[in-house]
């Protein structure tokens, strides 16, 4: 098989990797950096900037610059620029295409295949969107793999014996906790939980709010109402957060951040680590509930975990490490690079698929329960969360009205008993049901989840053998022909 790359598509930064002589290697981008900012900027002359150059000009081009697009994957996101409507998939695809080009330049060969990572707690719609972005970038996405699982693979390739591992993955936009067992070349995921709306961006936002309020108190100007000033503040707040992981106190100085009728205004503020940790305390508390859930689902107590791995740049924050160590009752391990291990794990999975790595096996799980809606807003589970994938299961249902000829199947993902409280993945209708009194027909609904965690559903009337089947596609997912058209557009746009 041709070369397969591993892509850690991150909220803040993305990383690419490959297998070289049986070992994972991180590939530098064209600037020689291993981290490529997940940023896309559209210039008025039609050029598209990606990565560091896009992020660097965000202050002066904030309305045409897209950061943290990963947080919009699977959502109804649209940005209209210069007469073109861009979806989150299209913007993400531009980042992935640049990663593909950087890999080809480094390797000196064409790259056609990839393994791409996603947060473990991503929904089916979000996974589909990432896979679509990969296709739009010109890549054949062989596998979608969960980020904590990729990190465990990166650790497991060097591990001997048997260990229970907790992987805490706190990136720029998402948080996952996975419990895994590594034993004699088998990496088995036991349970996972998480929060798709918790990450480094939220730590930045807390700091931005604090600084903006201080500035408003001193100058009676709200910086959050000024797009350019806010972008300047966002960049310096991110830098301050990173610096506070090393220094106990930092100063932020932004001259000419804004102006009023009295003249230009300068921002100067000093923040110490103690203040920062008080500000982010509510975010630190949000780390614990998913960790408790994952351990409970795995049937384990914190003291039974042998090793705690940290993944994602936000785990470098000392307060994050302290919160995790306090909950787990043991020090965190620093045996893997928190920023690169997800990408190297993706490369290891690529190596397994290509047959280059033969002594490692991965057993992953589905992160959320899948089922259908029934009468009275009830949610009936068919595949429970933390079931090993690929998998398939079914349940038999019946009609609710006499002589009912059509049955609507509403597919949901979540943990609530109430259908309306869960994530709707899609609907389809099974027609041609045998006319009979209600409760008599037998409708078998089968759910299947592939190795990428993507769902297919089939329904069949067991009396007439009429059937209907779909692979779940959220309402806003493009068709195959639309994907082809958008992919050609991106290829022309980026070259």
**DSSP per position, 277-323:** HHHTHHHHHTTHHHHHHHHHHHT--GGG--EEEEESGGGGSHHHHHH
Q: What's the rounded Cα separation, in Å, for the pair 210 and 247?
A: 19
Tokens 């409507």 sit at which residue?
85
Q: How many CA atoms lie within 13 A of 467 on its CB side?
A: 11
Q: What number of helices (H) and strands (E) belong to the chain? A: 12, 27
Catalytic residue among 70, 135, 232, 241: 70
Catalytic residue among 102, 124, 169, 356: 169
Q: What's the rounded Cα separation, in Å, for the pair 341 and 359?
A: 19
The answer to whether the CB of 254 falls within 8 A of the CB of 236 is yes
DSSP bridge pairs for 182: 163, 187
DSSP bridge pairs for 381: 371
Helices 288-298 + 318-328 axis angle, to 10: 40
Tally of residues, the chain: 495
Q: What's the rounded Cα separation, in Å, for the pair 132 and 181?
A: 31
Residue 468, SS3 per DSSP: strand
Q: Note if 306 is an active site residue.
A: no
User: Cα-flanking dihedrals φ and ψ of residue 372, to 5°?
Assistant: -130, 165
Catalytic residue among 102, 132, 147, 340: 147
Nearest alpha-carbon partner for 234 in 456, 6, 55: 55
Q: Which DSSP helix (H) or strand (E) runs through 88?
A: helix 88-107
User: Cα-flanking dihedrals φ and ψ of residue 385, to 5°?
Assistant: -60, 155
The answer to whether the CB of 192 falls within 8 A of the CB of 175 is no
The answer to whether the CB of 430 falls within 8 A of the CB of 453 is no
The answer to whether the CB of 382 falls within 8 A of the CB of 366 is no
Q: Note if 303 is an active site residue.
A: no
Q: What's the rounded Cα separation, in Å, for the pair 181 and 363?
A: 10
Q: Note if 147 is an active site residue.
A: yes
Q: Note if 8 is an active site residue.
A: yes
The answer to whether the CB of 442 falls within 8 A of the CB of 452 is no
Q: Catalytic residue numbers?
A: 8, 70, 147, 169
């Amino acid at each position: 098989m041709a070369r397969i790359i591993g892509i850690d598509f991150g909220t803040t930064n993305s990383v690419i990797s490959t297998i070289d002589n049986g070992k994972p290697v991180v590939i530098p981008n064209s600037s020689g950096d291993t981290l490529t900012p997940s940023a896309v900027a559209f210039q008025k002359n039609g050029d598209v900037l990606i990565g560091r150059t896009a992020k660097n000009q965000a202050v002066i081009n904030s309305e045409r610059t897209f950061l943290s697009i990963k947080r919009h994957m699977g959502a109804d996101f649209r940005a209209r620029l210069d007469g073109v409507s861009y979806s989150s998939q299209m913007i993400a695809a531009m980042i992935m295409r640049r990663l593909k080009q950087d890999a080809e330049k480094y390797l000196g060969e064409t790259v056609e295949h990839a393994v791409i990572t996603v947060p473990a707690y991503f929904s089916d719609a979000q996974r589909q969107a990432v896979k679509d972005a990969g296709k739009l970038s010109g890549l054949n996405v062989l596998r979608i793999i969960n980020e904590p699982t990729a990190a465990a693979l990166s650790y497991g390739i060097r591990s001997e014996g048997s260990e229970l591992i907790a992987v805490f993955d706190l990136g720029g936009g998402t948080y996952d906790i996975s419990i895994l067992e590594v034993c004699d070349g088998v990496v088995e995921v036991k349970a996972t939980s998480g929060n798709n709306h918790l990450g480094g961006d939220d730590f930045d936002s807390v700091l931005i709010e604090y600084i903006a309020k201080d500035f408003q108190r001193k100058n009676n100007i709200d910086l959050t109402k000024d797009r350019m000033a806010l972008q300047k503040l966002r960049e310096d707040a991110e830098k301050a957060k990173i610096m506070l992981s090393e220094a106990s106190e930092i100063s932020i100085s932004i001259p000419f951040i804004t102006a009023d009728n009295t003249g230009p205004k300068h921002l100067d503020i000093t923040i110490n680590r103690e203040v920062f940790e008080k500000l982010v305390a509510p975010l630190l508390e949000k780390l614990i509930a998913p960790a408790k859930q994952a351990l409970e689902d795995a049937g384990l107590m914190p003291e039974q975990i042998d090793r705690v791995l940290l993944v994602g740049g936000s785990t470098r924050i000392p307060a994050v490490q302290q919160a995790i160590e306090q909950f787990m009752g043991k020090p965190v391990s620093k045996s893997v690079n928190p920023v690169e291990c997800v990408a190297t794990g993706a490369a290891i999975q690529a190596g397994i698929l290509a047959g280059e790595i033969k002594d490692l096996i991965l057993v992953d799980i589905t992160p959320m329960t899948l089922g259908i809606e029934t009468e009275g807003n009830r949610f009936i589970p068919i595949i429970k969360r933390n079931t090993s994938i690929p998998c398939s299961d079914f349940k038999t249902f019946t009609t609710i009205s006499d002589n009912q000829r059509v049955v609507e199947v509403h597919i949901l993902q979540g943990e609530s008993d109430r259908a309306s409280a869960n994530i709707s993945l899609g609907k389809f209708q099974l027609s041609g049901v045998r006319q009979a009194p209600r409760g008599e027909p037998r409708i078998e609904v089968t759910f299947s989840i592939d190795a990428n965690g993507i769902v297919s559903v089939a329904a069949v009337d067991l009396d007439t053998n009429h059937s209907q089947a779909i692979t779940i596609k959220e309402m806003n997912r493009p068709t195959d022909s639309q994907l082809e058209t958008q992919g050609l557009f991106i290829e022309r746009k980026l070259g």
